[in-house]
């Protein structure tokens, strides 16, 4: 008589093989659908930029085919260039928002639809509560995952995430960074703009400049003139 644990193991292996076959069949069907789409760009004449070292590692759930190339041909831009986004997350985002950005006149309309913009409860001109609405949107979930993945990077988005986390906590930092990522994706799809990461140093320098201007305005209201410290 076969031991009970061996029987359970055999059943688990059979179930694993079954799901693996289902996933492979689904990937094959998706690749067939992508192949049937008319490409917006010719990869032969406009080759894709090399994948950065930080993104060369494939996610565990990555399909067997070259999804990044198909997505670039379909959209006309490389959305995986945005920090935090890989081909699987881009596919999830596009499956919800599509390629036509006309339903949203601005990126703010788009982030509001994604429930990544705060909704303020105001009474008597005072904000009583600020929160984001609940949603089951797959694109929102993908953008939140992308926001979490940039937390330790030396990118401008990574620096923004860390500053928001220090100021407001991790939960609000994820939403704020996901909002920024969405506002980077919007012009790429609408106007075919390229994404350029200026790095964490650029963001810190820009933040410092804004902080200095704010301090100068506050000092001017008090009749004080700020003088930079000499080296």
Q: What are the beta bridge partners of residue 120?
A: 130
In a domain, 125, yes or no: yes
Instruction: Decide if pLDDT at 122 tops 60.
Output: no
In a domain, 32, yes or no: no
In a domain, 7, yes or no: no
Residue indicated by tokens 């986004």: 85
Q: What are the beta bridge partners of residue 122?
A: 127
Model pLDDT for residues 144-155, shown as the tens digit of each residue: 999 999 998 888
Look up residue 55 and give its DSSP letter.
Answer: G
Domain count, the chain: 1
Instruction: Decide if pLDDT at 231 tops 90.
Output: no
Q: Is 10 helix (H, G, I), strand (E, B) or coil?
A: helix
Residue indicated by tokens 């200026």: 198
Give the CA radius of gyration of the chain.
Answer: 23
Which residue range forms the structural domain that includes residue 144?
37-221
In a domain, 23, yes or no: no
Look up residue 222 and give its DSSP letter.
Answer: T
Beta strand residue intervals within 70-163, DSSP E = 119-123, 126-131
Mean pLDDT within 28-45: 84
Instruction: Decide if pLDDT at 48 tops 50.
Output: yes
**Cβ 161 vs Cβ 147: under 8 Å:** yes
Q: What is the pLDDT of residue 182?
A: 96
The percent of residues in the chain predicted with pLDDT above 70, rounded, is 85
Instruction: Decide if pLDDT at 166 tops 50.
Output: yes
Instruction: Decide if pLDDT at 52 tops 70.
Output: no
User: What's the predicted TM-score (pTM) here?
Assistant: 0.78
Model pLDDT for residues 68-96, shown as the tens digit of each residue: 999 999 998 999 999 999 999 999 999 99
In a domain, 13, yes or no: no
Number of helices and strands in the chain (H, E): 8, 2
Residue 45's H or E segment, with its range, is: none
In a domain, 231, yes or no: no
Report the half-sphere exposure of 158 (CA within 13 A, side-chain side).
16
**Cβ 110 vs Cβ 93: under 8 Å:** no
**Cβ 222 vs Cβ 176: under 8 Å:** no
Tokens of 156: 């401008």
Confidence of residue 1 (pLDDT cuts 50, 70, 90): very low
Tokens of 174: 């994820």
Sequential DSSP letters for 66-100: -HHHHHHHHHSS-GGGSTT--HHHHHHHHHHH-S-
Tokens of 151: 């937390």
Mean pLDDT within 202-209: 72
In a domain, 5, yes or no: no
Burial tier of 132 (Cβ tally within 10 Å: 0-12, 13-18, 19+): buried
In a domain, 226, yes or no: no
**Cβ 66 vs Cβ 39: under 8 Å:** no
């Amino acid at each position: 008589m076969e031991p009970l644990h061996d029987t359970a193991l055999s059943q688990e292996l059979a179930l694993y093989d079954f799901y693996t076959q289902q996933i492979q069949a689904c990937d094959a069907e998706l690749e067939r659908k992508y192949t049937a789409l008319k490409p917006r760009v010719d990869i032969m004449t406009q080759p894709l930029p090399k994948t950065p070292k930080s993104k060369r590692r494939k996610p565990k759930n990555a399909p067997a085919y070259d999804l990044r190339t198909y997505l670039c041909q379909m959209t006309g831009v490389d959305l995986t260039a945005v920090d935090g986004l890989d081909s699987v997350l881009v596919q999830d985002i596009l499956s919800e928002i599509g390629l036509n950005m006309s339903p949203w006149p601005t990126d703010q309309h788009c982030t509001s639809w994604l429930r990544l913009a705060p909704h303020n409860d105001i009474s008597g001109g005072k904000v009583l509560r600020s929160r984001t609405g609940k949603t089951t949107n797959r694109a929102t979930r993908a953008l939140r995952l992308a926001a979490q993945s940039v937390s330790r990077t030396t990118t401008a988005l990574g620096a923004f995430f860390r500053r928001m986390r220090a100021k407001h906590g991790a939960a609000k930092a994820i939403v704020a960074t996901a909002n920024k990522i969405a506002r980077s994706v919007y012009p790429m799809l609408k106007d075919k703009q390229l994404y350029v990461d200026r790095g964490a140093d650029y963001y810190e320098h820009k933040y410092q400049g804004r902080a200095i201007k704010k301090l100068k305005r506050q000092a001017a209201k008090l009749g004080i003139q700020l003088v930079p410290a000499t080296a």
